[in-house]
Amino acid sequence: MFVLLRQLGEIRRRARLGRGSGTRWLGVRHVDAGSCNGCEHELGLVTSPLHDLQRFGLDIVASPRHADILLITGPVTTRMAGPLRTAYDAMPTPRLVAALGDCALGRNVLGERTELIGSVERLLPVDIRIVGCPPTPREIAEQLLDALAELGP
Amino acid sequence: MTLLRPVAARAWRAAVSEAIERRGERFGGAWATRDGGWRAVMLAGDEAVVLCCDAEDGRVDSIVDIAAAALWDEREAHDLHGLGFIGHDPLRPLIEHTAELERWVTPVSGEGVHQVAVGPIHAGVIESGHFRFHVVGERILALDTRLFHKHRGLERAAEGLAPDDALKHAGRACAACAVANTVAYAQAVEDATGLWPSADLRRQRTVLLELERLYNHLHDIGAICAGVGFAPGSMAFAALKDRAQELNAQAFGHRFLFGTVAIGGIPVALDPPAAGALRGALRELRADALAGWRDLTFAASMQARLDGVGVLELEDALRMGVVGPAARASGVPLDARVGNRRLVYGGLRPASPPAATGDVAARLRIRALELEATCDMLDELLSLPLARDGASPGRERSPVGVGRVESPRGETVCTVELVAARVARMHLRSASYANWPAVARATAGNLLPDFPLINKSFELCYACADR
């Protein structure tokens, strides 16, 4: 279930994201690496008034340079592998990678194709896995927050 | 049954020209095959004819001067199948991303002209695609779009599969157009295999298509609000969209209606209480959406940002083969629902905005009109329960089948070639594919900060186009 806002400080410490003392906030940068747009639609609603991810201290940020978490959708097309890597390299460390949706987790309907890397894990170390095709806004928020709560030191 | 009309390579231009100029047909997409074949589908009313030829020495005459809508189709066939097009010069790369910058951008020069490169990764939660603006100061002179970062090779992956197995390829092309794409694909296969949908199946599919249009139009209105930075509107319509998708989940088990379309049948049903419940909830949603729309019309700070921005002229819309709400907002009375005998649209006429000004304002208003019409259609369609029913055989088979559906973004044409009951070629030409070139056209002459607004007013899918 949802973790409370005041737990975020603890989450930051355990996830070793303690940059900026006392800031109970995590920046999430989204990268679409070839999704069907389903995960984007649902992720867009996670920050809408109904689900309101910001109340938990998380927000979508405009640049990977402002981000603690890189949230990636899609099976990672060969054409997006380069830009995805660039975004990851632009992030400050320590950093987390979240794979959002079944495609990003290597379970896309096409299987192995030359146009696809196939999963985020084949390119970057994945810390957080959010399952679903696509996961609903509530499932995205819950799985993201639960995963953050469970991240060990 | 769709006719397959073989044409000699040297007669290709004449055949297309005759179809357009003499018979008044519309270009509906072109695709290459692995064995050097080149096809074009021509549309007239509810009928379709597929012209086919074999390339000579890997080359065919270009038709872009006759059918400007074929611009991307020819570039794609060159990149993916190595076809050459005589007279298409310069033939710029479209899907091939390794080319030097000079080979794919429009040459624009002059004092103070410079390029602004944006993407493929954008600032918000947006699909990936690259835009290269040629600007003087803040004024956009031209825009080169470089999409296909999300190219997954869906069509190639479908080749050799049983038609039922390739359905998911059409479905995963795009979540927001999943029903439109799968219905178009199912229709294409049914057309090729001589099946005709029953009355129940036609009604069922129409309900699903309109439910898809409902949540998309709500989303698109909210997106335009976001484009001008009007947070109350974008938040209100995001909440309405979420409600519409929840209704999809309650009635059919999935917020994007995945898994509701099958070839020759329908895997879902609505009993009388469920149909009644959905109908009642949609009436409430309709009332709230119209109230939200009324609020928008009185939001002066928002309305002041819409007029005269991103104008797509009528002649450009016609010439470029633009479809859907974008075409209707420019005054093109085109809607693939009209006269569609494989769905149930009765005497529907294309919506037309109060003024077909072709700007952001017109593209916004047409969606509000269509939203209301869609709610009214659903109310009527859901007055009866939806039964599981199929399609009946009895029609002639054809080596090629065509499916046509009006997706929330416009006409989507799916073509399937079957050989020995396997998919030899599947081609999905979504409304987004048809309309992307028009975004660049409507952008020229506007200010750079207005591009997100103009882009949102078309609200095209990258996933649908890239496949």
Interchain CB distance below 8 Å, B176 and A41: yes
Neighbours of B308 (CB within 10 A): 11
- pLDDT for the residue numbered A16: 47
Please determine, for residue B353, whether its predicted confidence score (pLDDT) is greater than 90: no
Q: In this complex, do B175 and A79 lie within 8 Å of one another by their Cβ atoms?
A: no
CATH topology of domain A5-150: Rossmann fold (3.40.50)
Q: How many Å apart are CA A94 and CA A69, to the nearest integer?
A: 9
Q: Spell out which residues of chain B touch residue A110, defining contact as CB-CB under 8 Å.
A: 152-154, 157, 169, 172
Rounded to a whole number of angstroms, the distance from the CA of A106 to the nearest CA of chain B is 14
Q: pLDDT digit string (tens) for B247-278?
A: 999 999 999 999 999 999 888 889 999 999 99
Contact (CB<8Å) A110/B123: no
User: If we measure between CA atoms, which residue out of B248, B158, B162 comes closest to residue B210?
Assistant: B248
Interface touch A110/B172, C-beta < 8 Å: yes
What stretches of B135-198 show up as alpha helix (H) in DSSP?
Answer: 154-158, 163-171, 178-193
Identify which of B261, B297, B327, B296 has the alpha carbon closest to the alpha carbon of residue B460: B327
Length of chain B: 467
Query: Is A75 in CB contact (< 8 Å) with chain B?
Result: yes
Answer whether A51's CB lies under 8 Å from A138's CB: yes
Whole-Å CA distances, B407 to A88, B8, B291, B294: 36, 34, 25, 25
pLDDT tens-place string over residues B396-452 = 889 999 999 999 999 999 999 999 999 999 999 999 999 999 999 999 999 999 999
Output Rg (C-alpha) for chain A, integer angstroms. 15
The predicted structure's pLDDT at residue A151: 76
Q: What's the pLDDT tens digit per position in B67-82?
A: 999 999 999 999 999 9
Boundaries of every domain in chain B: 3-86, 101-146, 154-430
Per CB-CB distance under 8 Å, the chain A contacts of B408 are none
CA of A100 vs chain B CAs: smallest distance (Å): 13
Query: Nearest C-alpha of chain A: how many angstroms from B402?
Result: 23
Query: CATH number for the B3-86 domain, one of 3.40.50.920, 3.30.460.80, 1.20.58.220, 1.10.10.10?
Result: 3.30.460.80
CATH number among 3.40.50.620, 1.10.645.10, 1.10.240.10, 3.40.50.2300, domain B154-430: 1.10.645.10
Please say if the pLDDT value at position B393 is more than 50.
yes
Q: How far apart are the first and last CA of chain A?
A: 21
Q: Which of B126, B238, B255 sits opposite A48 (nearest CB)?
A: B238
**What whole-number distance in Å separates Cα of residue B321 and Cα of residue B28?**
8
Across the interface, do A45 and B242 touch by the CB < 8 Å criterion? yes
DSSP states of B17-45 as a string? HIIIIIS--EEEEEEE-TTSEEEEEEEET
d(CA B137, CA B467): 35
Flag whether residue A45 sits within 8 Å of chain B, measured between CB atoms. yes
B209, B431 contact by CB (below 8 A): no
Residue type, B359: D
Among A54, A48, A138, A51, CA closest to B237: A48
**8 A C-beta contact, residue B268 and residue B388:** yes
Beta bridge partners of B144: B132
A78-91 per-residue burial string, b: 16 or more CB within 10 A, e: under 16: bbbbebbeebbeeb
The encoded tokens of residue B440 equal 């660049």
| Structure-model confidence comparison of residues B218 and B349, the more confident one | B218
**Among the partner residues B126, B152, B176, nearest to A115 by beta-carbon distance:** B152
Q: What is the pLDDT of residues B145-156, one digit of tens each?
A: 999 999 999 999
pLDDT confidence of residue A48: 83
Among the listed residues B411, B39, B393, B44, the one whose alpha carbon sits nearest the alpha carbon of residue B192: B393
Q: A89 — contact with chain B (CB < 8 Å)?
A: no
Instruction: Report chain A residues whose CB lies below 8 A from the CB of B467.
Output: none
Sign of CA dihedral B179, B181, B186, B190: positive
What is the model's pLDDT at position A24? Answer: 63
Q: What gap in Å lies between CA B97 and CA B129, rounded to an integer?
A: 12
Q: How confident is the model at residue A14 (pLDDT cuts 50, 70, 90)?
A: low
Residue A127 near residue A98, CB atoms below 8 Å: yes
Q: Please tell me the predicted confidence (pLDDT) of residue A52.
A: 82
Residues from B contacting A (CB-CB < 8 Å) are 97, 120-121, 123-128, 148-154, 156-157, 168-169, 171-176, 178, 219, 235, 238-239, 241-242, 249, 255-256, 258, 461-464, 466
Residues 6+ apart with CB under 8 A from B89: none
Interface pTM, i.e. ipTM: 0.93
**Contact at CB, A115 and B174, closer than 8 angstroms:** no
